[in-house]
Amino acid sequence: MIDPARLKRLFLELVRIDSLSRREGRIAKRLARELEGLGAAVHFDDAGTKVKGETGNLVAHVPGTADAPAILLCAHMDTVEPGEGVNPVEDGDVIRSDGTTVLGGDDKSGVAIICECVRACREHGLRHPPIDVVFTICEEVGLLGATHLDVGLVRARRGLVFDSDAPGVVFTRAPGANHLDVVVHGRAAHAGMAPERGVSAIRVAAEAIAAMRLFRIDPETTANWGTIEGGRAVNIISDRVHLRGEARSHDPARLAAQTEHMLRCLEEAAARHPGARIEANISSVYEPMVIADDTVIMKLVTAAAARAGRPITSAAMGGGCDANILNRRGLEVVNLGTGMREIHTTSEWLAVSDMVAAAEVTLAALQLAADM
């Protein structure tokens, strides 16, 4: 009942609509038309105002054909940079970026799958519960859309998020994350006439980063500095460097320890250079997610995969997603892989057949949920 050609057409249309974080207005309007055409009542919350974006989260209520609890289908509308002017390249079953931008399969594959499943339900008159569709904003900049989602608009208490790579995998565990926003202060001086009078913030930052444990720390923990900005001119000893980074872990204790380690390296480097100091702001972006295999939603997904004839396993993932936030806000959700690959790079690609497989499992879940 899933129409692969239709799913592919919608995906290709969506990836050509620019939708960087806080600039999801165009795609939100397109998706509102899509869902309204399927008989859904579409609402927008005020999350856009809170994050200074073009639009809020899209929340749509699709009427059920069975008297059963509503189920949630969720994906995010925004993409990362470089994500403007996407020109998808078709190569048989594979759709890839042309190498100048990301493809946007993260997460327009999830968006397209949800729309196709709703359309298949309505087109074929399938029994299904009421469906709450949530398309969030600003997932890529700290899960801000889900954080500010008006959950009062959401009737469902459990459901699926579509925002991961591996087809045939449902992710039930995800790390928590801390963001580190650090300014290293030094002292400016003329680099040619009086360099001895200066304290280089660049040098302090470099020494600190060189001393840190970064990237893959252990099987559950990662860390990274993503941006470094500083310096005024080549003939001035730099007096300020701005660092932005993160630490992630499935284990809260390890997350705290890694964050403390990164800060300690910065403070020790500053202490070696009198006149330098560190100004740090640490924020918890999201907490770890753990969903047991015997929960109602996992039992539903497992049964749906069996009904669709698609193998499925549960696993842990290294990235956070809207599911982290939604589970902390009273819902029970897991993250279903859509087949997106090489995400956040200009080599991004996916196979349409993987999207079809995820859609078939989802459609089977909707039908089974009619009898919950």
Residues involved in catalysis:
78, 139
Decide: 236 and 188 in contact? Cβ < 8 Å.
yes
| C-alpha of 310 from chain center | 25
Nearest to 149 by CA among 323, 351, 2: 323
Q: Are 135 and 111 in contact (CB under 8 A)?
A: yes
Tokens at residue 272, please?
A: 């070696």
What is the chain's alpha carbon radius of gyration, rounded to the nearest angstrom? 23
Angle ∠(42,6,323) on CA atoms, nearest 5: 50
CA angle 180, 327, 79 (to 5 degrees): 55
Handedness of CA 271, 272, 274, 279 (dihedral sign): negative
